[in-house]
């Protein structure tokens, strides 16, 4: 393995340490197609410079149509960028953004099951790249909201048209956002939390 | 111009907390490959060679790890580095990022350190066991301060 000498491992900056009172964490996952701004959103609200974690998986028969019957195993690295927001002295919120290779995220044990909920970030220039991930969240019963990242050159559709195109039920919140702006990204997270709160109220 | 159209999916059976491990053996004609579906990836254990189903601690990406002792002289360099990083509480994901190691490898290292009682793990709060609404309200209050 390519582990570097322990003396050279860079740690967090002093100001990036959590307080010793931190006792529990929660997480939210930000999903969407390649290039829609997931990492941008993580970075705009995170209190730390976004970090990257990864998982290595081996898979037989990637591209099964081409290699059917072959024994080849391919190692696939699934990477995720993440950031952090300290909520209280005790509670920490982690935000995970998931670049590329959508189908692999769902094999990451507990990533979605353990999350409070998810933000689906969509780009109107390539709406269809978010179809699969929305379907997978629906199948798993993960609560989510949809944020339309407002690219200046993206086609403008009325929200009702986007809701119809994404086949979202009425109760799922949708909003426009600018993932580069902290206030806008925070509002998206707040919308998700209010949605989760309304679900909790309804089931109480 | 109208946008492309998606079709809604229905929830499947209650989500399992942990998917079943993939079947042993990558037989070319075995398993779901027969239906034209790729086999699901399995985890790779580089450091210790542990296999799926071995005694790994239940650690989430956001389980907070805190060192409770200095590294013993016998500790591996990876373990010493991990113990130094976790002088203050740190999530498994952050440990993985700073050590530049995959999460499954970090999990194996942590299992050994937990067994040796050199670190403590503070479990995350997950959706399935949300006790009440006060947690959600605390998160909302925290976000409003951003």
User: What pLDDT, on the 0 to 100 scale, is given for residue B63?
Assistant: 96
Give the mean pLDDT of chain B.
78
Residues 72-111 of chain B with CB under 8 A from chain A are 77-78, 80-81, 84-85, 87-91, 93-94, 96-105
Q: Is the pLDDT of residue A78 over 70?
A: yes
How high is the ipTM of this complex? 0.86
- Determine, yes or no, domain membership for B118: yes
Q: Given an 8 Å threshold on Cβ–Cβ distance, is B138 in contact with A91?
A: yes
Q: Given an 8 Å threshold on Cβ–Cβ distance, is A6 in contact with B143?
A: no
- Determine, yes or no, domain membership for B95: yes
Q: Given an 8 Å threshold on Cβ–Cβ distance, is B1 in contact with A155?
A: yes
Domain containing residue B109: 64-122
pTM: 0.81
Q: Given an 8 Å threshold on Cβ–Cβ distance, is B6 in contact with A18?
A: no
The tally of domains found in chain B comes to: 1
Question: Which is more confidently placed, B1 or A4?
Answer: B1
Tell me which chain A residues have a C-beta less than 8 angstroms from the C-beta of B75: none
Q: Please compute the mean of the pLDDT values over residues A130-138 and round it to a whole number.
A: 89
Contact of B131 with chain A, judged by CB distance below 8 Å, is answered with no
Domain ranges across chain A:
21-60+72-203
Q: Please compute the mean of the pLDDT values over residues B125-141 and round it to a whole number.
A: 80
- Determine, yes or no, domain membership for B72: yes
| Kind and range of the H or E run holding B43 | strand B42-43
Tell me the CATH number for domain A21-60+72-203. 3.40.50.300
Measured between alpha carbons, how far is residue A112 from residues A48, A70, A97, B105 in Å? 22, 32, 12, 20
Q: Please compute the mean of the pLDDT values over residues A174-198 and round it to a whole number.
A: 96
Q: Kindly report, residue by residue over A1-60, the tens digit of the pLDDT.
A: 455 444 556 789 989 999 999 999 999 999 988 888 999 999 999 999 999 998 877 664
Lowest mean pLDDT among A75-84, B49-58, B88-97: B49-58
What's the maximum distance between 2 C-alpha atoms anywhere in chain A? 56
Pick the residue of B16, B29, B44, B61 with the most A CBs within 10 A to test the interface with A by mutation.
B61
- Determine, yes or no, domain membership for B143: no
Q: Kindly report, residue by residue over A110-126, the tens digit of the pLDDT.
A: 788 789 999 999 999 99
């Amino acid at each position: 393995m390519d582990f570097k000498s322990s003396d050279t491992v860079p740690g967090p900056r002093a100001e990036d340490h959590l307080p010793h009172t931190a006792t529990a964490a929660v997480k939210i996952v930000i999903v969407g197609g390649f290039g829609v701004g997931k990492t941008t959103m993580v970075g705009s609200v995170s209190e730390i410079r976004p970090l990257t974690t990864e998982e290595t998986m081996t898979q037989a028969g990637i591209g099964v149509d081409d290699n059917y019957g072959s024994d080849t195993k391919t190692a696939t690295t699934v990477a995720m960028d993440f950031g952090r927001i300290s909520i209280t002295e005790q509670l920490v919120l982690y935000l995970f953004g998931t670049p590329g290779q959508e189908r692999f995220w769902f094999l990451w044990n507990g990533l979605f099951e353990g999350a409070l909920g998810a933000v689906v970030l969509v780009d109107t220039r390539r709406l269809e790249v978010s179809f699969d991930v929305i379907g997978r969240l629906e199948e798993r019963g993960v609560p989510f909201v949809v944020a339309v990242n407002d690219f200046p050159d993206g086609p403008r559709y009325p929200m009702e048209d986007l809701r119809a195109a994404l086949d979202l039920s009425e109760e799922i919140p949708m909003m426009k956002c600018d993932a580069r702006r902290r206030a806008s990204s925070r509002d998206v997270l707040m919308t998700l939390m209010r949605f989760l709160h309304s679900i909790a109220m309804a089931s109480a | 111009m109208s946008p492309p159209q998606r079709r809604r999916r229905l929830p499947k059976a209650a989500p399992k907390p942990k998917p079943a491990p993939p079947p042993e053996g990558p037989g070319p004609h075995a398993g779901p490959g027969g239906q034209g579906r790729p086999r699901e990836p399995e985890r790779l254990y580089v450091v210790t060679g542990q296999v799926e189903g071995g005694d790994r601690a239940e650690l989430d990406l956001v389980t907070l790890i805190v060192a409770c002792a200095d590294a013993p002289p016998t500790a591996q360099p990876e373990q010493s580095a991990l113990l130094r990083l976790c002088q203050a509480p740190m999530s498994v994901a952050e440990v993985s990022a700073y050590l530049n190691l995959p999460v499954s490898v970090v999990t194996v290292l942590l299992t050994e350190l937990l067994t040796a009682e050199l670190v403590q793990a503070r479990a995350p709060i997950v959706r399935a066991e949300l006790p009440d609404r006060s947690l959600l309200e605390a998160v909302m209050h925290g976000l409003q301060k951003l």
